[in-house]
Amino acid sequence: MSDSDVLIVGAGASGAAAAWRLATAGFSVTCLDQGGWTDYEAMPHTRPDWELARQTTHSPAPNIRKHAWDYPVEDTEAAIKPLMVNAVGGSTLAWGAHFPRFRPSDFRVRSLDGVAQDWPFDYWDLEPYYDLNDRIMGVSGIAGDPGNPPRAARPMPPLAAGAGAARVAAAFDRLGWHWWPAEAAIASTPYDGDRAACNHCGPCDLGCPRRARASTDVTYWPKAIAAGARIVTEARVFEIETDGAGRATGAAYYDAAGIARRHRAPVVMLAANGVGTARLMLLSQSARHPAGLGNAHDLVGRHLMHHPTGMATGVFAEPLEGFKGPFAVSILCQHFYETDPARAFVRGFQMQLIRSDAPLGTAVGVYLPRLPWGAAHHRRFLDVFGRTASLTVTTEDLPNPDNRVVLDAELTDTHGIPAPKMIYRLDDNTKSMIAYGLERAREALTEAGAVDVLTQDLVEYAGFHLLGTARMGHDRETSVIDGWNRVHDCPNLFVIDGSAFVTAAALNPTPTIQAIALRAADGLIRNRRKVAA
């Protein structure tokens, strides 16, 4: 007896996409999410203390925010701290909406560069899903980039560049470095009914009351619900249940009142991000899965990947009004993306232009060091406020089995469920890449006219991209799931979030996460009877 055809755990980027695809194909879909819906009337954007909310109650870091819907993440052994949102929409509620696709080489790093593993599919297998996802999320950009495969006309034109991006783009041109307008899941024109055009207010990470910046609670979920999908909010899953044969039968969860409940389904999909999904798989121990689901070879939780990021910030003598415009998206440089044997590292990085911060962010030091206190404070504030442009050096993090998610021995969430612990350190390849990238970023910003350039070797609070902890592969001894996202040891259980990634590329992962989720849903649709049996 089943409650739904498909149960999805997590209503974020991937869970929403899969729910929509499956519901429109006639499946009955239920999604359990430990959070609730965002109240768009209660966002802090119209409050005078909005920047304080950004630092505290609306921080993307669950360990700072400490919302009732969150779970703690033990991160004392993690060089990069976790960022995530636990609510309908998931981390798309607090992102910058930079929306680049992976490049074809990203799926073939073993064949091309002799590192890590190739993916079970290639760029062109995902291409139709990228296109579909771009339309539903609503992407602004411009086709014609000769540095990437040709793609369809973008749904909307690029976002405004701004003075900082114009300066840095011209500098890239003089240096001979290729760049292109960043693709963004932000509406530059009115889109899809109720989404207004971006009005350049800046802090996309706080959410978007205009619904210009995409999040899956405003893109996929209304369509999925219209097609019959159902969300149960404030439902904290603590176990994926299995039968005597080891197949998934559904999930056990605590409802909003703290009562333990069960939802049964012949197919279960995990979409709880690279930390939450690994945690659930490790929690779900049984006689057939004594080390946790899919963990017969001690791989669940391992190969945790981020995008280790350094940052160079140029201070310009002239006002750039960098506080105007979506903070994370304007232009992108992939000139140093591919392996060059002349460099001291393998693979490469992207440089993404970041605009200036608002007053409090400038003072506490997000892109620049914290401003000094005392008599020098105000002069320094005026010298830098609105006059900065930053370049991230966002690197490809190669999989390392020692970087991992485990269950913490002591820390628990409010229901007493063991919390995840992240163990993560940077390797020498990444450190070399960041150092080289920061030199290039300094070169570009100086060429652009910056009078001072300051660098951060590693942005600590940059752990949004939680990848690789239940990776794909053909070989069940070296991977957790197959090329259609099915757990090798439990074929009616799917992992459809960033946990599935074989490698991380050096690009923001959400378009790829969602394309893979749509593809996995299509695989299930085609093999419905086989999987359910």
**Does the protein bind other proteins through residue 3 (CB under 8 A)?**
no
**If we measure between CA atoms, which residue out of 508, 166, 196, 157 comes closest to residue 324?**
166
Closest CB 75 distance from other proteins, rounded Å: 16
Distant-in-sequence, close-in-space partners of 533: CB < 8 Å, separation ≥ 6: none
Q: Is 107 in the site for other proteins (CB under 8 A)?
A: yes
Question: Counting contacts by CB under 8 A, is residue 323 touching other proteins?
Answer: yes
Q: Which stretch binds other proteins (CB under 8 A): 30-38, 77-85, 279-287, 357-365?
A: 357-365
Of 4, 14, 91, 148, the residue at the interface with other proteins (CB under 8 A) is 148
Tell me which residue has tokens 């530059």: 188
Contact 494, 481 (CB under 8 A): yes
Task: Output 371 or 502, the one with its CB closest to other proteins.
Answer: 371
Q: Which of 354, 433, 367, 438 lies closest to 397, judged by CA? A: 433
Smallest distance, other proteins to C-beta of residue 452, A: 18
Report angle CA 24, 27, 28 to the nearest 5 degrees: 110
Using N-to-C axis directions, what is the helix angle for 510-526 and 123-137, rounded to 10°?
Answer: 110
The Cα–Cα gap between 173 and 3 comes to 58
Interaxial angle between packed helices 13-24 and 510-526, expressed in degrees from 0 to 180 and rounded to the nearest 10:
30
* Phi-psi sector, 138: left (phi>0), alpha (psi -120 to 50), beta: left
Question: In terms of CB distance, is 278 or 358 closer to other proteins?
Answer: 358
**Of residues 387-406, those binding other proteins (CB under 8 A):** 398
Taking the complex as a whole, how short is the minimal distance between the CB of residue 526 and other proteins, in angstroms? Answer: 25
Q: Is 306 in the site for other proteins (CB under 8 A)?
A: no
Distances (CA, A) of 117 to 45, 129, 137, 278, 500: 44, 22, 30, 20, 13
Q: Are 363 and 332 in contact (CB under 8 A)?
A: no
For other proteins, which residue of 5, 51, 239, 396 counts as binding (CB under 8 A)?
51
Instruction: Tell whether residue 370 is a contact of other proteins (CB under 8 A).
Output: yes
Considering only residues 178 to 217 of the shown chain, the ones binding other proteins according to CB under 8 A are 178-181, 188, 198-203, 206, 209-210
Minimal distance, residue 234 CB to other proteins, in Å: 25
Q: Does the footprint of other proteins cover residue 223 (CB under 8 A)? A: no
- Interactions with other proteins, residue window 435-494 (CB under 8 A): none
Q: Exactly one of 138, 325, 420, 509 binds other proteins (CB under 8 A); which one?
A: 325
CA separation (Å) from 301 to 289, 402, 406, 450, 469? 15, 10, 6, 43, 4
Minimum CB distance to other proteins, residue 398 (Å): 6
Nearer to other proteins, 357 or 489 (CB): 357
Q: Which stretch binds other proteins (CB under 8 A): 126-134, 373-381, 405-413, 446-454?
A: 373-381
Q: Contact between 113 and other proteins (CB under 8 A)?
A: yes
Minimum CB–partner distance for residue 484 and other proteins (Å)? 21
CB of 170 to other proteins, least distance (A): 8
Q: Does 297 bind other proteins (CB under 8 A)?
A: no
- Angle at the Cα of 181 from the Cα atoms of 177 and 185, rounded to 5 degrees: 140
Query: Taking contact as CB under 8 A, which single stretch among the options 305-313, 354-362, 447-455, 506-514 is the one that binds other proteins?
Result: 354-362
Q: What does the alpha-carbon distance between residue 481 and residue 300 come to, in Å, rounded to a whole number?
A: 10
H or E element that contains 55: helix 50-55
Nearer to other proteins, 287 or 375 (CB): 375
From the number of C-beta atoms within 10 Å of its C-beta (0-12, 13-18, 19+), residue 232 rates as middle
Stretch that binds other proteins, among 100-108, 127-135, 436-444, 486-494 (CB under 8 A): 100-108
- C-alpha to C-alpha distances, 249 to 218, 295, 456, 476, 490, nearest whole angstrom: 30, 18, 47, 22, 10
Q: Is 386 in the site for other proteins (CB under 8 A)?
A: yes
**DSSP character for 498?**
G
Would you count residue 244 as binding other proteins (CB under 8 A)?
no
As a three-state string, the secondary structure of 148-174 is CCCCCCCCECCCCCCHHHHHHHHHHHH
What tokens were used for 91? 């981390």
Binding piece for other proteins, criterion CB under 8 A, among 9-17, 161-169, 236-244, 459-467: 161-169
- Our finding on whether 162 is near other proteins (CB under 8 A) is yes
Residue 149 lies near other proteins (rule: CB under 8 A): yes
- Does position 432 bind other proteins by CB under 8 A? no
Nearest distance, CB of residue 499 and other proteins, angstroms: 20
Closest CA to 299 of 117, 461, 427, 122: 117
Query: Judged by CB under 8 A, does residue 159 bind other proteins?
Result: yes
Binding residue for other proteins, selected from 144, 190, 258, 369, defined by CB under 8 A: 144
